[in-house]
Amino acid sequence: MLDTILKNGQIFDGSGKKPINSDIGIKDNIISEIGNIDSDKGKEVIDVDGLAVSPGFVDMHTHSDFTLMVNGRAESQVHQGVTTEVVGQCGISCAPVNSDKDIKQMAIGYCENSHKLGWRSFKDYLSSLEKNKLGVNVAAFVGHGAVHNNVLGNELRAPNNDEIIKMSKIIEESLDEGAAGFSSGLEYWPGNLATSQDLVSMCEKVAKKNKIYATHVRNRDNHYDLGFTEALTTARQSGVKLQISHIQPKYGAPEYAVEHTLKMIETFRKLGVDVAFDIIPHTWNHTRVLSILPQWAQEGGASSVIDRLRNIDARKKIRNNPQPMWLLVRDNKWDDIVLIHSNKNSNLIGMTFTEIGRSRGVDPYDAAFDLLIEEGEEMGSLLWSSKAFREDDIIMCLQQPECAVISDTTALAPYGALKNNIGSISGYGWAARFFQDYVNDKKILTLTEAIRRISSLPAERLGLIKRGQLKKTFYADICVFDPQKIKNNCDLKNLKTYPSGIEHVLVNGIFAVKNGNRTEFDGGQVLRDFN
């Protein structure tokens, strides 16, 4: 007897093959049958006639490391068909750490008193995560930033040879303890302290474990070619599998940047480099407000940063930085920058920095400094978003068959400790936006191909075992949706609104969403084993 039968669906298996009209039978969390199945064989039969039945979506780039500790149900993700998340990206992971203070410093979306801390190693972190009820499966990367801080603390310098050896050993241990890969955020402190040769040494350890190196490159604006070349060269020299995170260049890059980057990638592929990439399916970019500070201003931890920001001369020096992380700031594009997370000033979330500055009677730049001070020890969780990407660049990337689609956001819930956190402009609707904009409206991809980009492509890239496709013996991670009605409902005025068109979501054979409503069940697992 089967536990569940999904009857009369249009099945997209995730491989890119044409869909078939068929049934799916599930038993003990596994896809047991695909074909014409007698309804009498199922304890529960769900008629999905007229609906697309696809693999659950695999979001291979998120920052839910801490928010899943606070609320593991992953409401914002499950409601849009996501069944697997990959955390620990951009060099930012919640382990390894030396203290709870380090967790507070590294954790995106940190909420004071929302969860008991205490883990130190990567293994400990995964075990702590596993104790939660999880709405999604979770794979975790170990971040360069966390490893750097684990060895050097908040020192403003690159590691020496002995420290590189220590860092490499920690990375290797973390991979053995269940990390799916290694990530870097070379635009951020302390990633921007790393030398290319340092990264090669670390990535050699990753390559030996046959894991992925995912990198947020050093620069994606007017020096984009230097950043992407460094990533490609690191992969060539170390032999590591390279995943270029959210590849689209940002404000300040020349119009030909994407085309040039894709040509560079093709050249390195001919040299034997295993490289792929992913994009965010909208024009908004988001990051920590802290990242706008130059290296010297971030040294010494939160208390030192606060002291500097209270100094008029230091503020002036920061503002005169000729190459801030966001050139939008240099060019005073404050109307295009929106606050998306603050623990101390949640009433300002969704406002532009022009509006925030006006409400406080200060320049927008000073408003950003003041918010960092007010956030205190939790300043690392202060996030903003900007209109930094070009639509044409997104389309050009999507036209490449190796381009996966990601959220670059966090798993959230509109209630409890996470109620004031929005993750990104489309944190509650990024997957729906992808189908709505690039399949239904702009017709850049077929539905079959779009499903592949968000299911089997990332699953295979990550080495997920028996996930990402609808096949017999595979885990029953399944999304059932109406291809014509799937719609993102998020905008600046409605940031926490679930999408339309998602009817059922199963995680390891358990209904997380049924008839459009979240169930009480959570079937997610922590993933430690990879191909």
pLDDT of residue 509: 98
The answer to whether residue 321 scores a pLDDT higher than 90 is no
Pairing of strands 52-55, 478-481: antiparallel
Answer yes or no: is pLDDT of 51 > 90. Answer: yes
Pick the closest to residue 144 from 197, 86, 220, 215 (CA basis): 215
Using a 10 angstrom Cβ sphere, with 0-12 exposed, 13-18 middle and 19 or more buried, the burial of residue 399 is exposed
DSSP structure string for 371-421: HHHHHGGGGGG-EEEEE---HHHHHHHHTSTTEEE---S----SSGGGTT-
- Mean pLDDT of all residues in 505-518: 98
492: pLDDT strictly greater than 80: no
* Residue-wise pLDDT tens digits, 344-353: 998 998 899 9
Averaged pLDDT for residues 145-158: 92
pLDDT tens-digit map of 88-138: 999 999 999 999 999 988 888 888 878 889 999 999 999 999 999 999 999
**For 440-472, how does the pLDDT look when each residue is reduced to its tens digit (9 = 90+)?**
999 999 999 999 999 999 999 999 999 999 999
154 pLDDT band (50/70/90 cuts)? confident
Q: Is the pLDDT of residue 269 over 90?
A: yes
> Does residue 44 surpass a pLDDT of 80?
yes
The answer, yes or no, to whether residue 372 has pLDDT greater than 80, is yes
* Low-confidence winner among 123-137, 251-265, 418-432 (lowest mean pLDDT): 418-432
CATH of 57-283+390-462, one of 3.40.50.170, 3.40.50.300, 3.20.20.140, 3.40.50.970: 3.20.20.140
- The CATH H-level superfamily of 2-55+473-486+498-518 is Urease, subunit C, domain 1 (2.30.40.10)
**pLDDT value at position 277?**
98
pLDDT, tens only, 191-208: 999 999 999 999 999 999
The residue extents of the domains of the chain are 2-55+473-486+498-518, 57-283+390-462, 288-387
Domain 2-55+473-486+498-518 matches domain 57-283+390-462 at the CATH topology level: no
Contact 143, 90 (CB under 8 A): yes
